Amino acid sequence: MDSVLLLGEAEGYIQSLEKMALRDIGSPRWFRQHEYIEKLNMQAILNASANQEEFIKDHFVSLGKIPTLVHAMILTEVWKHKVFPIICKLQDFKPKSTFLLYMVIHHEATIINLLETIMYHKESSEAACDSVLDLLDYCHRKLTLLAGRSVSGQIPTEDRITHAQLSDTASVQDLQRQSDMLEFEISVKALSVLCYITDHIESLSLSVLSRMLCTHNMPCVLVQLVKNCPWNRGTLEKYTEGKWRTVRPEDQLKLSKHDGQVWMALLNLLLKPDCQRKYDFNSFNKTQLLKLRGFLTDVVIDQLPNLLDLRHFLSQLTVTDPAAPKKDLILEQVPEIWNNIVTENSSKWKAIAKYQVTHVFNPSESELREQASRLAQTYNLDVMENLIPDKPKCGDCGRVGAKRCSRCQGEWYCNRECQVKHWPKHKPACKLMAEAIEKLQEELNISS
């Protein structure tokens, strides 16, 4: 299979995307749009592996749908913060299936993953228009949460389970735990998006620059990420490609993708002329930034030579005080999506939760069967394997996988020894995946 969607199909899916109300989340109309975004996300991954990254981006830019995508992501974020906790507290809510709830929880991750691909390009940042401010605020919320959880030791120690691994009998409380684990993955993706925004800062409005440097003080947030490095678990494990992986001894000093993104964002925000004129290098900010010197070792600079300029700048900062930014009268734009959603629904959270519990997340047997069929088509394992840009990797050591688990078909290993070593960790997920596949086959009347 060479592609997931034809050109006309992708264009039609993007064109059909629309802004929805909070009450609509989980409805058939919402579920159909979720499927479209999932397939577009798969297409973006496939085309990235075929060096055709602009395939999806061009259509989102030309059709003006990036603001719609940002709205859908923030709408899901608000739902997870305001409505989902109420649903979890309803003791009498015992749905026959939790798949649809999981789809809503996962929707935010799907969109941020798609935006990570799209926002790499300068045209996308420009086409986002005013919604880039909302996207910037979103990234700030996620990164401050990531930094805070890292300091308090609340970073998840396990990989989240996938759609196929999710047991149909999982409780709402199990989904709440999965949501917390998924939040870590979303926050890491938000770092990528922020890095791309800083790459294109010259082409964006002054309001974006002001909000990034003055309102949110993003350089100091990034300093905390450098200090705490939430995607590293000591020197033994690193979070890469959506999983915690064991680091080989020879790779322990190698920078991960996320390390590189933090440093590149700092490089953009501290050395670009527009940023230097706008940022206030007061005593607090200066003290925080100078902490970076201890992390700019020769080993790090050898991997990212551009950081030599940052080290020189920090050396100068120790003996000089840059001029304070001019305090001109500026009319700034403010983000609207989060505030509009919260204001519109501020007194309706409980009512929305009860409505969705009754009419959305408690489907009939026939609706469950239809959902199972559509989910099987959307998350077809053969299609997903086609989308993997690299060869499958061993679940234990990270090397190229040669064989996969015969029971769940979802984990790869380079040899028998790694499979045996990884079995205690893989066993719970393997059981869940195998049971989920069996149930799905029974519902769809598919023979093994």
Q: What is the pLDDT of residues 257-310, one digit of tens each?
A: 999 999 999 999 999 998 988 899 999 999 999 999 999 999 999 999 999 999
Mean pLDDT confidence for 208-237: 90
Residues 316 and 409 grouped into a single domain: no
Let me know if residue 2 belongs to a domain: no
Q: What is the pLDDT of residues 340-363, one digit of tens each?
A: 999 999 999 999 999 998 888 877
Domain stop point among 356, 383, 410: 383
Residues 207 and 315 grouped into a single domain: yes
Mean pLDDT confidence for 222-226: 95
Let me know if residue 253 belongs to a domain: yes
Domain stop point among 331, 363, 383: 383
- Report pLDDT for 250: 81
Please give the mean pLDDT across all residues of the chain.
Answer: 82
Residues 32 and 128 grouped into a single domain: yes
Let me know if residue 81 belongs to a domain: yes
Residues 152 and 266 grouped into a single domain: yes
Residues 360 and 401 grouped into a single domain: no
Residues 319 and 223 grouped into a single domain: yes
State how many domains the chain has.
2
160: confidence class by pLDDT, cuts 50, 70, 90: low
427 is in which domain, residue-wise? 392-446
Residues 398 and 357 grouped into a single domain: no
> What is the 3 state secondary structure string of the chain?
CCCCCCHHHHHHHHHHCCCCCHHHCCCHHHHHHHHHHHHHHHHHHHHHHCCCCHHHHHHHHHCCCHHHHHHHHHHHHHHHHHCHHHHHHCCCCCCCCCHHHHHHHHHHHHHHHHHHHHCCCHHHHHHCCCHHHHHHHHHHHHHHHHHHHHHCCCCCCCCCCCCCCCCCCCCHHHHHHHHHHHHHHHHHHHHHHHHHHHHCHHHCCHHHHHHHHHHCCHHHHHHHHHHHCCCEECCCEEEECCEEEECCHHHCCCCCHHHHHHHHHHHHHHHCHHHHHHCCCCHHHHHHHHHHHHHCCHHHHHHCCCHHHHHHHHHHHCCCCCCCCCCCCCCCCCCCHHHHHHHHHCCCHHHHHHHHHHHCCCCCHHHHHHHHHHHHHHCCHHHHHHHCCCCCEECCCCCECCEECCCCCCCEECCHHHHHHHHHHHHHHHHHHHHHHHHHHHHHCCCC
Lowest mean pLDDT among 84-88, 154-158, 327-331: 327-331
Residues 117 and 168 grouped into a single domain: yes
Residues 294 and 402 grouped into a single domain: no
Let me know if residue 335 belongs to a domain: yes
Let me know if residue 222 belongs to a domain: yes
Let me know if residue 404 belongs to a domain: yes
Let me know if residue 19 belongs to a domain: yes
- Report pLDDT for 2: 43
Q: What is the pLDDT of residues 240-255, one digit of tens each?
A: 877 888 888 888 888 8
Let me know if residue 1 belongs to a domain: no
- Report pLDDT for 372: 63
